[in-house]
Amino acid sequence: MTARAIDEPHRSASPLELLFDLTFVVAVAAVTARYAHHVADGHALTGLVPFLQVFFAVWWAWMNFTWFASSYDTDDVPYRLLTMVQMAGVLVIAAGVPAADGRSDYRAVAIGYLVMRTALVAQWLRAGAEDPAGRRTALRYALGIAVAQAGWILWIVAAEAGALPSSAQVSCFALLAVLELAVPRWAERAAPTAWHPHHIAERYGLFTLILFGESVLAASSGVGSALDEAGPGRPLIVVAGSGLVLLFSLWWLYFLAPAGDGLDGRRHLSYLWGYGHYGIFAGLAVLGAGLEVAVEQTGHGLRASPLAICYAVAVPTAVFVLLLWIVHRPLLAEPVPRPAVALCGAAAVLLLPLAAPRAGTVPVVAGIAAVCALMAGVTVALGTGEKGARPRPEPLSENVAPAPRPARGSSRDAGQVSQKARVGHTRAPSEGPERTGPSKGAPGTSSAFSGGGDGVGSPAAVPRAVRARTSFRRRRARRRSAWRRRSSACP
């Protein structure tokens, strides 16, 4: 087992990874369904803590495998078997969600988590034994995961024996979660693993699609309950349609950002991007539960008030939008969504539920969907919808030669500078990563340099700073020539 190449071309998710994700569909569905019951009963706040705890276990188990597979996916027999053991652990976690959420009985979740972590430790030990370059990092991962897992076992045993009071259980959980989050940082200090940025971005996108699918499934379940109680009606149609518009808008915003390009140039920010997705994923799961209750409320009365139901939709929507902006802002030159769009949209979404006691649930949910659709439309109109946000540029390398300076007063030399710039051998720092490539007609020339609207000879291929500098020098040369002619004409 050796590490895969960081710059491996056309790296994508494997069939085994897709099968692995399908087991998490079951776990996410179980967590979302349990929290929907809390929202419907009017206990959204009290049910939030166990939801976040169980969802952390699900998310962190998926995270650990995903980043390991991005570096060491050999797809051989031992790797496949150990991955399938982790899948079995995920299903055990899903089976223990009702007991953990309803009776605070985490034994089944702990057993499933232990199965997954044991298999993951075995994979890291195998990587340390067979990959000398990454041995220290792999052994640190194995040790850190084993220590953290021992802490979880002690936490469960102490809670079941009554030695740990209920008031201290949440604090102990938070400390163990911080320990888990610190393990990758500590292990990567030995030597960074060779994770693939575009593969990681694709894997996160696939898990996001799972959560969007669970939200659609939860809303469909609410539609079925409402139809059984009251039949089709205008409120049901409005809320169901608004829920779809809301999910479509959030999907559009998420997949506008080229996260793979940003991670490629900012690998040290992968912790912010990766850990920040816990809030994004949890927000989507809570949103699915809120939409299910909002749709179900149109058919019959629930214990939850209209204000609580609307905030069960508004809060996760605002969290999704704000965290999406926060995790992409350091990576991209043009964050998606833009700061003003994200802040104003989140504020509007959080203010709309205040009208629920008088207006009801239906118009408020429709208003939230309209705000999100407007955010997506404004983001596309600002130019990121078709072209995508380009990664934040890195400084030019020292071995890149600067653009040749033309002779003073020579417009012909200035034209030569412009022609050299069109070939694409230099690029100003303000224009993003430099473009390097063979000259026109050389084998292997990409379309960006061999033709089209951004090819050789096209003004779009010339860096903006070079065009501005060349234009200024041409104007200065013309002014000096005119001054010399006037001077020579004077007696």
Tens of pLDDT, residues 318-356:
999 999 999 988 887 766 788 889 999 999 999 999 999
* Angle subtended by helix axes 197-230 and 15-40, to nearest 10: 40
The reported pLDDT for the residue numbered 382 is: 82
Residue 390: C-alpha distances to residues 141, 264, 333, 481 (Å): 33, 12, 6, 41
- Examine the pLDDT at 278 and tell me if it is beyond 50: yes
- Examine the pLDDT at 105 and tell me if it is beyond 60: yes
Per CATH, the number for 198-392 is 1.20.1410
Q: 120 with 145: CB under 8 angstroms?
A: yes
The reported pLDDT for the residue numbered 287 is: 95
Q: Residue 149's pLDDT band (boundaries 50, 70, 90)? A: very high
**pLDDT (average), residues 47-71:** 92
Lowest mean pLDDT of 199-213, 235-249, 322-336, name the range. 322-336
- Examine the pLDDT at 298 and tell me if it is beyond 50: yes
Which residue reads 């969007």 in tokens? 212
Alpha helices, H only, 42-165:
48-72, 77-95, 97-103, 107-130, 135-161
Residue 471 or residue 349, greater confidence: 349
Q: Residue 65's pLDDT band (boundaries 50, 70, 90)? A: very high
- Examine the pLDDT at 448 and tell me if it is beyond 80: no
**pLDDT (average), residues 453-475:** 49
Q: 262 with 328: CB under 8 angstroms?
A: yes
Alpha helices, H only, 329-463:
339-351, 356-359, 361-379, 385-387, 411-423, 447-450
Q: Is the peptide bond before 337 cis (omega within 30 degrees of 0)?
A: yes
The domains of the chain are located at 10-195, 198-392, 411-436+451-489
**pLDDT (average), residues 106-110:** 85
The reported pLDDT for the residue numbered 232 is: 67
The reported pLDDT for the residue numbered 235 is: 82
Angle at 12 between CA 11 and CA 16, to 5 degrees: 125
Closest CA to 111 of 61, 171, 180: 61
- Contacts for 348 with CB less than 8 Å, ≥ 6 apart: 371
> b/e map of 273-299 (b: 16 or more CB within 10 Å)?
bbebbbbbbbbbbbbbbbbbbbbbbbb
The reported pLDDT for the residue numbered 215 is: 87
For 262-307, give the secondary structure using H, E and C: HHHHCHHHHHHHHHHHHHHHHHHHHHHHHHHHHHHHCCCCCCCCHH
- Examine the pLDDT at 28 and tell me if it is beyond 70: yes
Dump pLDDT digits (tens) for 39-53.
988 888 988 988 999
Lowest mean pLDDT of 338-347, 359-368, 372-381, 450-459, name the range. 450-459
Residue 424 or residue 313, greater confidence: 313
Average pLDDT, the chain: 79
The structure's pTM equals 0.75
Q: Which of 211-225, 356-370, 429-443 has the highest mean pLDDT?
A: 356-370
Q: Which of 34-38, 83-87, 411-415, 429-433 has the highest mean pLDDT?
A: 83-87
- Contacts for 241 with CB less than 8 Å, ≥ 6 apart: none
Angle at 181 between CA 176 and CA 183, to 5 degrees: 95
